[in-house]
Amino acid sequence: MPSLPGARLTVRPGRPLTGTFIPPGDKSITHRAYLLGMLARGGTVVENPNPGGDCQATLACIRSLGARVGRRAGAVTIEGCDMQPREPDRVLDCGNSGTTLRLLAGPLAAQPFLSVLTGDASLRRRPVARVIEPLRRMGAQLWARHGDRLPPLAIRGATLRPIEYSLPVASAQVASCVLLAGLFAAGRTVVRLPGPARDHTERMLPVFGVPIVASTGPPAPADGGGPMIAVEGPARPTGARLRVPGDFSAAAFFLAAAATTPGATVTAREVNLNPSRCGLLGVLERMGASVQRSQLREEGGEPVGDVTVTGPLQLAGCDIAPAEVPTMIDEVPAWVVAATGARGTSRIRGAGELRVKESDRLALLAANLARLGIGVEETADGIAVTGGRRGGSGRRPSDRHGVRGPGGRGRRAGDGDRRRRHPDLLPGVRRDPGGAGRGCRRRRHGSRPMSFVVTIDGPAGAGKSTTARAVASRLGFLYVDTGALYRALALKVRNGGVVPDDLAAVERCARETQVALSGSPEHAHVWLDGAEVSEAIRTPEVSELASRLAAQPPVRRRLVEIQRALSRRGPLVAEGRDLGTVVFPDAEVKIYLDADLDTRARRRALELEKRGIAIALDQVREELARRDDRDRGRADSPLQVPAGARVLNTSALSIEQQVDEVLRVVQEHPACPVRVAGGPSGGAAEGPVAGSSPG
């Protein structure tokens, strides 16, 4: 809502955030739906569009180009121009929306008329040279002021020719501009990016009936390219009906606020979970917050679901590498909110793009943090934030595009009053009338998550995973499959062409890898750099490579950091090979499961068969024997019985017997926070963390 002159907002300490909300429709997806709806043949219905000013600017522009636009409850209807927009009778005003200007330039470059794109004073300071260069190569004529660098942008269209274009920076807007222009060119238009970028256009084109060719992965040595997208023209989109998922950027501040507040639990429903957009979630997990994804599905080519974030006692500072920045570029201000409450110094590099947004966001973030007495250091392409207790401030923070967050949204219970002008926090965000915290609150002892660690070590095939999942589920503890972490790294090493014996390359890969666990013990999900890989990591090839990598000290050090961070979420059951000896040497309960080689081989072969992987029993036995030798003989963190561990031979035990025995041992410990009603054989957990949502 518009701010009232002189209005003030006072923020005082309160209870930890708890609740459920539905963010407004995704802005980036709404822009693209409107533009493709204009170009399409027939009618398009866009449900749950973003209501903000930027998308309204796009809607006004497509009206000026001949699209018929209507509105009905919760939706916008568009009757398209069938690839023949009309010549506008006025300058096209893009308002403050750089996305509108850059994406619209693509289709206009193919039209037989002159068009001029401009916007407000802020937009007229944003660069356009990146779109001028490829469109000129395709045959259009374009001019801009200040040496063809700044808007207004004038375009005289022409018959376009297809090109292969390698972007100097990984810009989704420039890539989309070229792809939309490629719809009009006769032949294949190819766009190559030097790194990851938002892929909403590539996902949406097939929804409108336009096939694409896309590949992802590391740069190809031959041409230095990275991810590639190609479209064959001329193409003719057809009208479509699609629902826009919730905007992750709009949800980010609430999720970050929950992460930085002990005892807070916030759920964002129906939110876009595109891996190219939600890198912040992996970072919050790395800092120690619990992040649970649920109700996962696909709508209109986009992954959608619910996200619940629970704050630990205190976050840990972390560094964000340049490779991670594209997946969270608009969420950096929200990450700063979390960093202010984290222990130690958090740093981000490779975020220089924020200096050429609507404002210099890095400079404004640094200035606002300094006003609040928070330790901050600004660099050319990033920022370093030293967390700690934050004081109040009566000053007015800068107010461009969410950078007010550290001035108000990063509040923690117990801080001093903070007064701010401009009470408009996040227009369009609505509370979920059926949620209001129901079903997502984690029960705690007092206001802190209790630390109680159960480790289950042992060789492959001894029943660790099945037993640990069942025990965690019965007790309501977090379940940590440490083997999945190593397998995820192995999958990245294999797919990335990294030589496993190149220690420097593997160490570099490990440092740049983000692995996260989510879901319940029965339905655990493994995420690698934002993409789910739960099934892909369960092949014999990946398991074998994971065992090789686990013998490398740098790999183990990196993954031990991740594992220890998980213990800050609350009670957990973790299974692996060095948990009781190295990762959690002070664990309250240590279990070592073992079984003879033949029994373990039969179990592993049956497990693989259930997943559709046929493999001879003798081969499984040989692989397990090799793995045993490697795990027990490695110099760093060898497989061995931890000091004080309870050893359980499972060769003649059923899974139910294994679970009952482990539950009995756990509940014998005087500090165990949970008792299972009716004894180990069944019943629900009773205690302060029963029913908790595993991260």
| Residue 670 CB partners (closer than 8 Å, separation 6+) | none
Residue type, 597: L
Q: Is the separation of the CB atoms in 636 and 560 below 8 Å?
A: no
Rounded to whole angstroms, the Cα distance separating 330 from 281 reads: 13
How far is residue 689's CA from residue 290's CA, in Å, rounded to a whole number?
14
| Whether 529 is catalytic | no
Q: Which residue has the tokens 């036995």?
A: 621
Other Cβ atoms within 10 Å of 433 Cβ, number: 8
Q: Are 621 and 461 in contact (CB under 8 A)?
A: no
Roughly how many angstroms between the first and final C-alpha of the chain, as a whole number? 35
DSSP state of 559: H
Nearest-angstrom CA–CA distance, 178 and 196: 17
Residues 468, 574: contact at Cβ < 8 Å?
yes
> Which stretches within 139-278 are classed as H helix?
145-148, 172-182, 200-204, 248-259
* Cβ-proximal residues to 385 (8 Å cutoff; 6+ apart), any chain: 317, 336, 339, 340, 342, 345, 346, 347, 369, 374, 375, 376
Q: Which residues contact 516 (CB under 8 A, 6 or more apart)?
A: 281, 282, 285, 286, 291, 526, 527
Burial of residue 499, with CB atoms counted within 10 A of its CB: 0-12 exposed, 13-18 middle, 19 or more buried: exposed
Side-chain-side CA neighbours of residue 365 (13 Å): 31
> Strand pairing of 478-481 and 75-79?
unpaired
Catalytic residue among 54, 306, 330, 578: 330
* Rg, Å, the chain Cα set: 27
Nearest Cα residue to 201 out of 217, 181, 180: 180
Peptide bond into 152 cis (omega under 30): yes
**Cβ contact 345:318 at 8 Å:** no
Longest dimension (CA), the chain: 83
Pairing of strands 430-431, 18-22: antiparallel
Question: What is the amino acid identity at position 236?
Answer: R
Q: Tell me the catalytic residues.
A: 330
